[in-house]
Structure 1
Amino acid sequence: MRASSDSSLISIPPCHHYRRTEPVCALEVELSAYLIVIDTEVSGPDVLSDFAERMTAATLEYGGKYLVRGGDIDVLGGDVSPQRVTVVEFGDADQARALLKSDVFAELSKVRNTAARGNTMIVEGV
C-alpha cells in the first residue's frame, strides 16, 4: 500500500490474476476514521442507555455514522471481556476528535463514567 498525494487516499496494490495476460487493477480508496468504544464494565445499564440516546444526536451532528452499537460479542481470543462495543465511522480523525473535544461530550462523559468503564480509541483505515 502506498500513500496518494491526497493524505486521505491510499492506493491498494494491483489485483493479481491467474493469467498474466489479464490487466491488473489498482484502487484508490478514501481513508475513514473509526471511533471505537469497548466497555469492559457496565454498572448502570439504565444510565448508559440514557447516555447513548443523548450521545446519538451529538455523534450525528459531528458527522458520525454508527456501524456497531451493542449486540452479542463473541470473543475469539485474547484476555478481553467486553460487555458492550460501539464503532462509529467518521470522514476523518479530525471529525472524531472534534466530537471528543466538544462541550456536549465533556458533559455526557461525566454521566457515562458513572455507568461504565472501558476504552476509547480512534483508528484510521479503509
Structure 2
Amino acid sequence: MTAYLIADVDVTDPTAFEEYKREVPATEAPYGGKYLGRGGLTKVLEGDWQPHRLVIVEFPDMDSLMAWYDSPEYARLKAIRQRCATTRIVALEGLQP
C-alpha cells in the first residue's frame, strides 16, 4: 500500500539547507521515493496553519518509507536538516486498492 511522507520545513539556515535539497533525492530513489510536491506555493484554505516549505514524497509502502528514513544513506543528510531547519514530518499510509 502506498505511503506518503509529508513534511513542513521551516528553514533556518538556507545556505546549509541547499546541500540537503541537492543530495536528498538520490537517497530516496533506491527506496522508490518520488516527489509529489516540494516547496511550491501553498494556500491555506481553512484553519490557522501557516505552512513553511511543504514536501510530499510518495513511497511504494510504509516499509520502504521507513527503510529510507532510517537508512545509513539518509542519516548524514537528516543530521544536516535537523541543524538547519525545524521540521514537522508525518508518514501517511495511502488507500487500499
- Letter matched to residue 58 of structure 1: T
Helix, strand or coil: the match of 1:121? strand
- Superimposed CA distance per residue, residues 4-52 of structure 1 (whole angstroms, 9 cap, x where no aligned partner): xxxxxxxxxxxxxxxxxxxxxxxxxxx310011111x211122222101
Higher alpha-carbon deviation: 86-95 or 69-78: 69-78
Matched with 1:82 is 51
Matched with 2:33 is 64
Matched with 1:24 is none
Q: Distance in 1 between matches of 2:14 and 2:45?
A: 25
Given the alignment of the two structures, is residue 114 of structure 1 paired with residue 83 of structure 2, yes or no?
A: yes
- Letter matched to residue 19 of structure 2: D
Q: TM-score, normalised by structure 1?
A: 0.70
- Superimposed CA distance per residue, residues 32-73 of structure 1 (whole angstroms, 9 cap, x where no aligned partner): 10011111x211122222101111100111110110011111
**Root-mean-square deviation (Å):** 1.2
Given the alignment of the two structures, is residue 34 of structure 1 paired with residue 4 of structure 2, yes or no?
A: yes
Aligned pairs, number? 95
- Superimposed CA distance per residue, residues 61-112 of structure 1 (whole angstroms, 9 cap, x where no aligned partner): 1110110011111112223221101111111000000001111222111111
Helix, strand or coil: the match of 1:34? strand
> Where does structure 2 lack aligned partners over 5 or more consecutive residues?
none
Q: Distance in 1 between matches of 2:48 and 2:18?
A: 26
Given the alignment of the two structures, is residue 124 of structure 1 paired with residue 87 of structure 2, yes or no?
A: no
Helix, strand or coil: the match of 2:41? coil
